[in-house]
Amino acid sequence: MTIEIRNPAEHEWRDAMRMTMAVFGDEPRDEDFERHNKMLLRERFWAAYDGDVPVGTAADFPFTLTVPGGELPAGGVTWVAVQPSHRRQGVLTQLMRRELDDIHERGEPLAMLWASEAAIYGRFGYGLAAPHFEMEADCARFAFRDDPGPQGRVRMLSLEDAVEPVMQVYDRVRTTVPGFIGRPREWWTTYRLADPEHWRRGASPKYVALLELDEQPAAYAIYRVKGDWEAGFPKGTVKVVEALADSTVAERELWRFLFGIDLTVRVESRLDPASPLFLMVVDARSLRLTANEGLWLRIVDVELALAGRQFASDQSVVLELRDEFCPWNAGRWRVGREVARTDDAADLELGIADLASVYLGAFSFARLAAADRARELRTGALARADALFRTERPPYCPEDF
């Protein structure tokens, strides 16, 4: 079987998208094609063709990713799918090969994705980079420790009126948290604040609550309510699409609002691992938190990625990197004030996916070594590397794509 990997021609693009939607069991709609045509770039959309039939796809958005101390361009990998008829025949590997080569040729040092199946992407050099918690909290047991009482004001906004104030809050937070992506206005209106009926899955339309402190936007929640009744009693669920606050006070008041919505008994949300909520409440167990691997990161160009990241100490460490899929990264690298190849003896040995796991600050080299994911070659190297890569807070990515 001969497979051709290429960008679809304009007249072929819709058929390639339709194939991807079918793999995920989605029903294609004209409005979906129009939405995706706004944000996807055809030159960054790859399709695998068996003859003239699309049998696989992979695409990436041209994102900007917040990294410790700065921002870097990153390909946001998405639309990855292979027809059931062509699974386990190397189609995905060919798509990943072409896509990572393209990102590398563009001079973008990072690629990232959310995995529909977590077991797939490690073999292509992606590592767990920004875990988060999934919360299914019990409203009846929700209460704050040493509660100072409500502060600020909450306003309900239409989706159209919400764009500017939520962008203000998001952009203030984005620069301080590794793992956040830049969102242009069109991303907000096309995806995050869009609300086609088939996205609701039996829940309400999207609502937006804006918290103001000192008459300034300080937090927001985008959410739905899925109503339910049992023996005459309300059993609804608040399904939080996104909740973001720019201070501890704002976070407390935002969750006070969400847990106080009438006719509901549960709040479901993704939760930043650095959120103070766990320590704010009387009964942390009632939050019912489950760990999730979250964002996966692929270092496409080691030199550019490490040079674009801020380090926390003046020390340096020599890393021996393995990278079978992108061999231009393999070898010894001195990392510190300068990032460069070296012939010096290595201090630590690890694979490229494991370097991705420490890159944003989610894990330490010591934790990698404890899991047999890194090997210390010189005594004290783990401690030096951890001091070098230390971050003020763990990463978090509120956007899946």
Tell me how far apart the terminal alpha carbons of the chain are, to the nearest angstrom.
31
Using H for helix, E for strand and C for coil, what is the string for 317-338?
A: EEEEEECCCCHHHCEEEEECCC
Q: Position 207: which residue type?
A: Y
Catalytic residue among 126, 133, 359, 401: 401
CA nearest neighbour of 24 among 71, 110, 82: 82
Q: What DSSP string runs through 100-161? A: HHHHHHTT--EEEEE-SSTTSGGGGT-EEEEEEEEEEEEGGG--BTT-----SEEEEE-HHH
| Integer Cα distance of 279 and 144 in angstroms | 9
Residue 194's SS3 state is: coil
**Which of the 8 DSSP states describes residue 181?**
B
- Tokens representing 67 are 């990294």
Distances in whole angstroms, Cα of residue 193 to Cα of each of 43, 123, 155, 212, 224: 26, 34, 16, 19, 12
CB 280 within 8 A of CB 89: no
User: Crossing angle, helix 13-23 and helix 30-39, to 10 degrees?
Assistant: 110
Contact 182, 71 (CB under 8 A): yes
In angstroms, the Cα distances linking 176 to 180, 205, 269, 353 are: 9, 31, 21, 24
Give the whole-angstrom CA distance, residue 55 versus residue 350. Answer: 35
Burial class (CB in 10 A: 0-12, 13-18, 19+), 166: buried
| Catalytic residue selected from 45, 63, 121, 257 | 121
Taking the mean position of all CA atoms in its chain, how far away is CA 63?
11
- Dist CA 61 CA 13 (whole Å): 16
Does residue 401 have an active-site annotation? yes
Q: Is the distance from CB of 358 to CB of 369 less than 8 angstroms?
A: no
Active site residue 45: no
Catalytic positions, written as ranges: 121, 401
